Amino acid sequence: MKNYFNHWGISVILILLWAPLQAQKPPKTLVYEAQPTLIVLPEGQSFNRTNVSVLGQEVLGLNQDSSFELDRQNTDELGYTHDVYTQYYQGIPVAFAKLKIHSFQGQVKSLTNTTVPIENIELRPVLSSTSAFNSAKAHVNAQTYLWEDQVSSEMMDYNIPQGDLVIMAPLKDVLNEPRLAYKFDIYATEPLYRADVYVDATNGRVLFENKKIHHADTPATGTSLYNGTVSFTADSFSSGYRLRQTTDGNGIETYDMNSSTQYQNATDVVSATTTFGGSTDIGVQAHWGAEQTHKYFLQNHNRNSYTGTGTVIRSYVSYGNNYVNAFWNGSVMTYGDGDGNNYGPLVSLDIVGHEITHGVTEYAANLVYSYESGALNESFSDIFGEAIENFGAGTNDWLMGDQIGAGGSGGALRSMSNPNQFGDPDTYLGTNWYTGSGDNGGVHYNSGVQNYWFYLLTVGGTGTNDFGDPFDVMGSGMEKAAAI
């Protein structure tokens, strides 16, 4: 059985190291940030995990107009059950408002809470969904949209959005009070864009966009591109073999977009024999990386694909011309070939692990891709990118994407062992901490803080943070650190 108390002991040590910084520079009072608050129930306070409405009123202080609907449930290796609920107010869902109930043998032990108290809000929309949709489209202002291409829409299981009525909760630097809004999943293909766009149901103002395309952030077997000869599973068909398989979960499939940006133009990566070589090396690298990522999450965390239910993992390589990026779009993984000068194809094992982990985070935590929660989102992808690199290749360099550099330039995007090397912070609110609104509030920059935390948690280290506080951490190794 896992040593639960040792895991928490290591976490408490790091929390204590963090505490002096919080005491020295307390953050300013902010409205709800869609970031969770942990509530540990005191001894003697007992609730059954099914008494959700009672918990909402007696522990969270919500009124009787708030209710909850179960999203998902799982039981972990330690026997704890985790129920995730969405908050509703008079039958309307509250965006980003979740209640996670952590229980053992039916009794609630703690809550992870992002619910919000709501009172006296107007629930009758002034605008029609059509008018709100026009506002959302005007905000995006794209040349083409995915719903205009029926074949590609069906491939992505995507339809033109009709608009869901929701209550938009207060959000840092966005909204100070709850507002009734329409939510639209807008997917544009030129220029590339996908986000949930929230439009005020009273005046048509765009309140917020929660972006779904999460980039690797770079301006920047057969024979794989970066890991030599690798072994993987392919699919036999009438013309030979292709990079598809159904061994892992419900399958892993890898396609070549042939420099197109239209997914319907993608073709199979094929070989006449079971030995893939030559021009298939980019596809082989992505396919092998996806297999390693699936195996890692299943073997180490008992998670079957990014959804936890075995969903097919689809990857598309060679997207566009000289495209220096990789992204998760809410449905599939997509990788550019780089510019051929400073950057090569963005299919290294750590980048593949990073992108698929965005899918894991979306389905496991649904962190808002903005400011600090967005930085945590990016950091979790970096963390598991490194864990998967360790799992698949047996080594760690603590650099994100180092292998993609072309022409000897070096391609690393971030360093987890020394975030300052790339201008990222290693201390909360310390040197290089990004305070602007660019990069969705610094999601790639400020990820350095948790990245460095994970590095210390894994290998240990001593030093002094940016506020003069000394630390001395004993590493717990990759397996325990990743489990935490």
CATH of the domain at 167: 3.10.450
Catalytic residue among 209, 355, 362, 372: 355
Q: What's the sign of the alpha-carbon dihedral 305, 306, 310, 313? A: negative
Distance, C-alpha 132 to centroid of its chain: 28
Considering only CA atoms, which of 118, 3, 2 is closest in space to residue 56?
A: 118
* The amino acid at 179: R
Residue 313 lies in a domain: yes
List the CATH number of the domain containing 309: 3.10.170.10
Alpha helices in 265-348 (DSSP H): 281-301
Residue with tokens 């593949």: 352
**Count of structural domains, the chain:** 3
Three-state DSSP state, 242 = strand
Q: Does residue 374 lie within any of the structural domains?
A: yes
Cβ(407)–Cβ(399) below 8 Å:
no
User: Quick one: tokens of 422?
Assistant: 């790339």
Last-in-domain residue among 187, 211, 235: 211
Strands (E), 172-273: 179-190, 192-200, 206-211, 214-215, 222-223, 229-230, 235-237, 240-242, 244-245, 252-256, 267-268, 270-271
Of 366, 398, 415, the position where a domain reaches its end is: 415
Shared domain check, 340 and 235 = yes
Within 227-309, where are the H helices?
281-301
Q: Assess if residue 99 is contained within a domain.
A: yes
β-strands 37-40, 107-113: how paired? Answer: antiparallel
249, part of any domain: yes
CA distances from 258 to 31, 140, 221 (A): 46, 27, 21
Do residue 163 and residue 53 come from a single domain? no
Residues 253 and 401 in one domain: yes
Region of 258 on the Ramachandran plot (φ > 0 left; ψ -120 to 50 alpha; else beta): left
Sign of CA pseudo-dihedral 50, 52, 54, 59: positive
Q: Output the CA torsion sign for 146, 150, 153, 158.
A: positive
So what's the pLDDT on residue 216?
56
Does a structural domain hold residue 450? no
In a domain, 328, yes or no: yes
Do 178 and 230 reside in the same domain of the chain?
A: no
Q: How many helices (H) and strands (E) does the chain have?
A: 10, 26
Do 227 and 207 share a structural domain?
no
Q: How long, in residues, is the chain?
A: 484
Residues 186 and 305 placed together within one structural domain of the fold: no
Distance in angstroms (rounded) separating the CA atoms of residues 70 and 68: 7
Could you tell me the residue range of the domain that residue 85 belongs to? 31-113
Whether residues 325 and 248 fall in one domain: yes
Neighbour count for residue 278 (Cβ, 10 Å)? 8
Residue 366 lies in a domain: yes
* Antiparallel, parallel or unpaired: β 252-256 and 313-319: parallel
Last residue of a domain, one of 179, 211, 243: 211
Q: Where are the beta strands (DSSP E) in 401-456?
A: 414-415
144 and 70 housed in the same domain: no
pLDDT at 35: 55
Q: What is the mean pLDDT of each run of 10 residues along the chain (484 residues)?
A: 30 33 30 64 85 90 93 87 94 93 92 89 93 96 92 88 92 84 93 91 93 58 87 85 88 95 93 89 96 96 92 96 91 92 92 95 89 95 96 92 71 91 96 93 96 98 96 96 94
Same domain, 302 and 268: yes
Does the active-site annotation cover 7? no
What pLDDT is stored for residue 7 in this prediction?
A: 30
Task: Report if residue 60 sits inside a domain.
Answer: yes
- Residues 405 and 263 placed together within one structural domain of the fold: yes
Catalytic member of 214, 294, 358, 444: 444
| Residue 411 and residue 274 share a domain | yes
The answer on 228 and 206 residing in a single domain is: no
**Active-site residue flag, 386:** no
Residue (of 458, 461, 463) closest to 430 by Cα position: 463
Q: Please state, in angstroms and rounded to a whole number, the distance separating the CA atoms of residues 445 and 424.
A: 5
